């Protein structure tokens, strides 16, 4: 039997890009008050046709039911300077609910989904499927739109990475 401690000790060695998952509650008033979001590393590419990704969402996360009801969510891949946003959406600053969206430059898509500006990439997804997995739901999102920064005018930005319970960047290995 693998204990929670062993599970966490193993998984913390997997370096992961940090994302914020966000959605707007269908049943709430318009605007940020009805928005919910959380920091996530359990994000994976699933398929390129149709373009899909997966997100592991703890069922106790306040955004969980909002995403299930809305049937739409965004995946915002953070740059390394956006660690304050990661902390905010992980509940580490005390900001809660719609208040979290005061940190970062948030816009709203035509479909009413919150999207963060200044990311490495942002995906807007519709909820295609959900898989029940213990404490978590794996939400499968069909990627409807992708926003990429203009890397032609600048070098690609450094991602925010989480490893051993710390944030870091990446250090490319020189080739040749
Ligand atoms: C680096 C990092 C990665 C996280 N990854 C996930 C994740 O993939 N899925 C998840 O459900 N929670 C994840 N969490 C935890 C949530 O961000 C955290 O519990 C958040 O406060 C949940 O939102 P709530 O307070 O509105 O319920 C992560 C936290 C951190 C700091």
CATH of the domain at 108: 2.30.110.10
Our mutation pick for probing the ligand 1 site, out of 17, 41, 85, 139, counting the most ligand atoms within 8 A of Cβ, is: 41
128 belongs to a structural domain: yes
110-139: pLDDT as tens digits:
999 999 999 999 999 999 999 999 999 999
Q: Is the pTM of this model over 0.85?
A: yes
Would you state the pLDDT for residue 157?
84
Q: Which of 80, 108, 83 is nearest to 93 (CA)?
A: 83
What Å distances lie between residue 167 and 14, 90, 157, CA to CA? 12, 13, 16
CA 60 to chain centroid: 16
Distance CA 84, CA 105 (A): 12
175 belongs to a structural domain: no
Give me the percent of the chain exceeding a pLDDT of 90. Answer: 87
Range of the domain at 51: 16-162
pLDDT surpassing 90 at residue 144: yes
Please give the backbone phi and psi of residue 115, each rounded to the nearest 5 degrees, phi first: -130, 135
Ligand 1 pocket, CB under 6 A: 18, 38-42, 56-58, 61-63, 89-91, 162
Helix residue ranges, H only, the chain: 4-11, 62-70, 83-89
Greatest mean pLDDT among 2-16, 21-35, 156-170 lies in 2-16
Would you state the pLDDT for residue 156?
73
Residue 172 C-alpha to ligand 1 middle, in angstroms?
27
8 belongs to a structural domain: no
1 belongs to a structural domain: no
C-beta of residue 113 within 8 angstroms of C-beta of residue 24:
yes
Q: How many domains does the chain have?
A: 1
56 belongs to a structural domain: yes
Our mutation pick for probing the ligand 1 site, out of 13, 34, 35, 40, counting the most ligand atoms within 8 A of Cβ, is: 40
Distance CA 108, CA 41 (A): 23
Structure confidence at residue 152 as a pLDDT band (50, 70, 90): low
66 belongs to a structural domain: yes
Assign 173 to helix, strand or coil: coil
83-94: pLDDT as tens digits:
999 999 999 999
7 belongs to a structural domain: no
Assign 108 to helix, strand or coil: strand
CA 24 to chain centroid: 14
Residue 152 C-alpha to ligand 1 middle, in angstroms?
33
What Å distances lie between residue 134 and 7, 55, 58, 59, 149, CA to CA? 14, 14, 9, 9, 36
- Using CA of residue 91, residue 93, residue 96, residue 99, what is the dihedral sign? negative
Residue with tokens 């969510």: 73
137 belongs to a structural domain: yes
């Amino acid at each position: 039997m693998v204990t929670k401690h062993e599970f966490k000790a193993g998984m913390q060695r997997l370096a992961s890009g940090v994302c914020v998952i966000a959605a707007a509650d269908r049943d709430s008033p318009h605007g940020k008050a009805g928005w919910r979001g959380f920091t996530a590393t359990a994000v994976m590419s699933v398929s390129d046709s149709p373009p899909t990704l997966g997100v592991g969402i703890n069922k106790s996360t306040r955004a969980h039911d909002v995403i299930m009801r809305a049937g739409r969510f965004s995946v915002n891949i953070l740059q390394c300077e956006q660690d304050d946003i990661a902390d905010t959406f992980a509940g580490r600053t005390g900001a809660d609910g719609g208040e979290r969206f005061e940190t970062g430059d948030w816009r709203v898509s035509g479909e009413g989904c919150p999207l963060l500006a200044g990311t490495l990439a942002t995906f807007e997804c519709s909820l295609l499927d959900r898989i029940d997995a213990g404490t978590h739901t794996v939400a499968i999102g069909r990627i409807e739109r992708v926003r990429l920064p203009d890397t032609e005018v600048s070098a690609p930005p450094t991602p925010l990475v989480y490893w051993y319970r710390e944030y870091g960047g990446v250090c490319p290995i020189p080739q040749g």
